[in-house]
Amino acid sequence: MNKPAASGTPVITSTAEPAQRLRQLLAKMPTRVIACSGGIDSMLLATLAGRLEQGQTLVVHALSPAVPAEATARLRHWAAREGWRLRTLESGEFDSEDYLSNPVNRCYYCKHNLYDSLTRVARAADTGASVCSGANTDDLGEYRPGLQAAELFHVRHPYIEAGVDKATIRALARELALPFAEIPASPCLASRLYTGTRVTAERLRAVEAAEALIRSTAGIEVVRCRVREQAMIVEVSACDRDKITVDVLDALQQLMRRNNFPLLTVELDAEPYRPGRAFVGAA
């Protein structure tokens, strides 16, 4: 399916076969409940499911301080355009001390709450309904405690079942000319908090505001504003580090003060951006 390019980046020669496998998998489900975060993976899955003639599709989006407002807006817009049956819910992870204390497996408690809620929705819709996530084969090689929670609730992962990776997802989204095909990956805002730093709505709002400021003023697409207790640490790729000037850091500090976010320091990380750096102790 994929051939390695000289640079090491996969080149997708054809999306026809994986697309067919995905559609066949989804078509066999009498009712599909798609967990959709507003990112490219789940948005594409919901689009494929929603465009099938067979079966029924219900798209469910969890509202939470950890979900970027931009992702929710993107999802609502596309759902209206595609005519999806869309339901929003609050999955309740902010009622869980196990989640709020931010252990290294915080994602497990978040997904446990989410999939518990989705399973209830699925049962109400159809006793034979399948809850589906947007996890792909690349996720199998990473620390993903949320997959353990998915297993408890028998959540299905169509991309994994069809052997589809992230590169193929993007290639298929481009082939379908979907407007979100090029959006950068952006995990939930809670992933910006270092393990052990308590999850609070205030900290998540600070992260969201800080990243939005950097994208707009420095023109950087991929940025992570990590928080370790009272310090905000900005991560960007090596090629973008010179764009994080003293003026940008000062603007971040001023933004925090204007919004009463209790941060003592704002600094550029000593190393370039690396996914998952905030998960201290992850295997």
Q: Which residues are the active-site residues?
A: 188
Look at residues 201, 223, 216 and name the one whose alpha carbon lies nearest to residue 274: 223
Query: Is residue 161 a contact partner of residue 185, using CB atoms and an 8 Å limit?
Result: no
As a residue count, the chain comes to: 283
Query: Is residue 51 a contact partner of residue 44, using CB atoms and an 8 Å limit?
Result: no
Q: In what order do the strands lie in the sheet with 85-89?
A: 85-89, 56-62, 31-35, 130-132
Cα–Cα distance measured from residue 266 to residue 222, given in angstroms and rounded to the nearest whole number:
18
Q: In what order do the strands lie in the sheet with 223-228?
A: 223-228, 231-236, 265-268
Is 265 strand, coil or helix? strand
Cα–Cα distance measured from residue 45 to residue 59, given in angstroms and rounded to the nearest whole number:
10
- Neighbour-count burial of 196, counting CB atoms closer than 10 A to its CB (0-12 exposed, 13-18 middle, 19+ buried): middle
Token pair for 187: 């995990």
